[in-house]
Amino acid sequence: MKIIIAPDSFKESMGAKEVALIMEKGVKRVFPEAEIIKMPMADGGEGTVESLVEVRRGKIIRKKVTSPLGKKIYAYFGILEDEITAVVEMAQASGLSLVPPRERNPLSTTSYGTGELIKEALDRGCRKIIVGIGGSATVDGGAGMAQALGAKLLDKRGKEVSFGGGSLGKIVDINMEKFDARIADIEVIVASDVDNPLCGSEGAAKVYGPQKGATPEMVDILNRNLAHFARMIKKFLGKEVADTPGAGAAGGLGAGLIAFLGAKLEPGIDRMIDASNLEEKLKGADLVISGEGRIDEQTAYGKTPMGVAERAKKENIPVILIGGEIRIGGKVLYEKGVDALISSVDRVSSLSEVMRNSRRALMDASERAMRLVKIGCLLR
């Protein structure tokens, strides 16, 4: 029996790589001779670099970069086995988790560190860069990222503006004379499932600003400043980003990547699945197991487990999803190609107890799933 194990992370508990390993142990309790291929997955957000490096036999590159607060930290990105494709995860250098709650202020936080990771990838000879842009701490429209690559964002005195979305309104000129010329010869793909525009009621500031620490007053300032930045981009770069779907992703980093790097925005899970070569691994498989920490309505409409299930169904391979918490009726998922849905929580417990026992519970749930599969085999 050939089994593909392709889960996402169980957020705040286990990364996708650990989830896949634990699922494998549960499967082996019932089918010790099974051929198991572990493919930890991600959708462009948390865990994207580790997942792709794992399945594509790449390597992790560590680099000292600028944090959202302007401090020096170590972050990492991945280079895949072809040696020319880099995977950059914005959250590594410019993520919200890097900023203590009391210091979250998108008027001053910067995406500069993400630009530094991209520059390091260029220095190492990469010609294709996949950027995952979930979990950002910034609402600077990708200005910091562009500055790290050599763009000069100048105020009326000809001085570079300071970091953060609060300074975007001061920009009167964008000077590209020292912008990294290598950008023109590479392919940049943004993995994102967000289609928000840069500005307006559904834009980066209004929708995502509050979760990054913005007060209502800050949201208004950021929205105006992003609109001004979009006008400057149109004037000096000839790119229209204000209303472009996806430009508002990651505090407007989507807009910056489109404008300065010529990036293409693609659905996160589709891009990650393509990059992982999942379809090739599915050939000849008898069963696929996927899952994530919470299975809910979002799962049904485009998150990692559903993307995996859809690819498996094209090959007529049955799919089991295992989740720590299930907040959706099975019917919706069954109609979309999932064959069985199993919760790893097997008793009434407090949240702290569930988190404490999550590894044991996941292994037990994987074993339960396989025992049901074994019964099915006997009934044939």
pLDDT tens per residue, range 299-332: 776 678 888 999 999 999 999 999 988 887 778 8
Instruction: Judge whether 255 lies within some domain.
Output: yes
Answer yes or no: do 204 and 254 share one domain: yes
- 306: how many CB neighbours lie within 10 A of its CB? 24
Domain span including residue 338:
2-40+282-379
Q: Are 195 and 245 in contact (CB under 8 A)?
A: yes
Residue of 52, 120, 45 whose CA lies nearest to 87: 52
Instruction: Judge whether 50 lies within some domain.
Output: no
CATH number of the domain where residue 341 is located:
3.40.50.10350
Answer yes or no: do 332 and 218 share one domain: no
Answer yes or no: do 264 and 344 share one domain: no
DSSP string across 77-130: EEE-TTSSEEEEEHHHHHBGGGS-GGG--TTT---HHHHHHHHHHHHTT--EEE
Answer yes or no: do 62 and 9 share one domain: no
- What is the total count of domains within the chain? 2
Answer yes or no: do 334 and 370 share one domain: yes
- Tell which of 268, 294, 317 closes a domain: 268
Answer yes or no: do 304 and 351 share one domain: yes
Instruction: Judge whether 213 lies within some domain.
Output: yes
Instruction: Judge whether 51 lies within some domain.
Output: no
What b-and-e string marks burial along 183-198, b requiring 16 or more CB atoms within 10 Å of the CB? Answer: beebebbbbbbbebbb
Instruction: Judge whether 157 lies within some domain.
Output: yes
pLDDT tens per residue, range 14-60: 888 899 999 999 999 999 999 999 999 887 777 789 888 988 889 99
Residues in the chain: 380
Taking the mean position of all CA atoms in its chain, how far away is CA 360?
27
Does residue 192 have a pLDDT over 80?
yes
- Tell which of 240, 268, 296 closes a domain: 268
Answer yes or no: do 69 and 172 share one domain: yes
- Tell which of 235, 268, 301 closes a domain: 268
d(CA 103, CA 109): 9
Instruction: Judge whether 287 lies within some domain.
Output: yes
| Element at 61 (helix H, strand E) | strand 59-66
Instruction: Judge whether 207 lies within some domain.
Output: yes
Taking the mean position of all CA atoms in its chain, how far away is CA 280?
22
Does residue 113 have a pLDDT over 70?
yes
d(CA 79, CA 281): 21
Query: Cβ-count burial of 125 within 10 angstroms (0-12 exposed, 13-18 middle, 19+ buried)?
Result: exposed
Answer yes or no: do 233 and 288 share one domain: no
Does residue 348 have a pLDDT over 70?
no
Instruction: Judge whether 250 lies within some domain.
Output: yes
Answer yes or no: do 298 and 245 share one domain: no
Phi, psi of 178 (to 5 degrees): -105, 15
Which residue reads 């910034």 in tokens? 138
How many helices (DSSP H) and strands (DSSP E) are in the chain?
A: 15, 13
Higher pLDDT, 349 or 150: 150
Answer yes or no: do 6 and 137 share one domain: no
Phi, psi of 85 (to 5 degrees): -110, 125
Residue 243 is classified by DSSP as: T
Answer yes or no: do 228 and 293 share one domain: no
d(CA 57, CA 326): 32
Angle, CA 295 vertex, CA 89 and CA 336 arms, to 5°: 100
Lowest mean pLDDT among 9-18, 144-153, 307-316, 368-377: 9-18
Answer yes or no: do 184 and 311 share one domain: no
CATH number of the domain where residue 207 is located:
3.90.1510.10
Q: Who contacts 17 (Cβ-Cβ below 8 Å, separation ≥6)?
A: 38, 40, 47, 50, 51, 54
pLDDT tens per residue, range 151-183: 999 999 999 999 999 999 999 999 999 999 999
Q: Who contacts 344 (Cβ-Cβ below 8 Å, separation ≥6)?
A: 322, 323, 324, 358, 361, 362, 364, 365
pLDDT confidence of residue 356: 78
pLDDT tens per residue, range 53-111: 988 889 999 999 999 999 999 999 999 999 999 999 999 999 998 999 999 999 999 99
DSSP string across 147-173: HHTT-EEE-TTSPBPPSSGGGGGG--E
